[in-house]
Amino acid sequence: MKIVLHRRYRFSASHRLHQPGWSQDENFRMYGKCANKHGHGHNYVLDVAVTGPVDPATGMVTNLADLDAFIEREVLAEFDHVYLNEQVPAFRSLVPTAENICRVLFDRLRPYAHARLAAVALEETGANSFEYAGESWESP
């Protein structure tokens, strides 16, 4: 039977949506308040979905202690309480929209050794959420 396990994690970070190649007017037209010079922050909720066979000895797709340690190391240690544009190298040349954060996180989490990464979903606020499952993914 196909099993997909979802685990949710939280991090708080600031960002600014701004394309350096555009004028200030163009940036404000496209990104509105999100282009403000000093950035602003969100409480992000990250949903990590993994899939794979259930180990008969443990009843688990993956041990949550392994998944938690991996997410702590790969995501939370770098993304929590930082300014994404300046402090996460991936966003020095990539606008940290939630879409781009999803893609960066998916690529970063794909090497997880204990189960196959199925998708990542990111809630930027209670009203906006984004999901990414790799380029071959077709929306359900």
Catalytic residues: 34, 81, 124
Task: Supply φ then ψ for residue 135, to 5 degrees.
Answer: -70, -25
Give whichever of 49 and 90 is closer to other proteins, judged by the CB atom: 49
Binding residue for other proteins, selected from 64, 86, 110, 125, defined by CB under 8 A: 64
Write the DSSP string, 74-129. Answer: IIIHHHTTEEHHHHSGGGSSS---HHHHHHHHHHHHTT-SSSEEEEEEEEEETTEE
Return the residues of window 22-61 that contact other proteins according to CB under 8 A.
Answer: 54, 57-61
Residue 59's SS3 state is coil
Assess 7 for contact with other proteins (CB under 8 A).
Answer: yes
The answer to the question of residue 69 lying near other proteins (CB under 8 A) is no
Taking the least distance from each CB to other proteins, the nearer of 52 and 96 is 52
Q: Which is nearer to other proteins, 95 or 122 (CB)?
A: 122
User: What phi-psi label fits residue 26: left (phi over 0), alpha (psi between -120 and 50 degrees) or beta?
Assistant: alpha
Q: What are the residues binding other proteins (CB under 8 A)? A: 1-9, 54, 57-61, 63-65
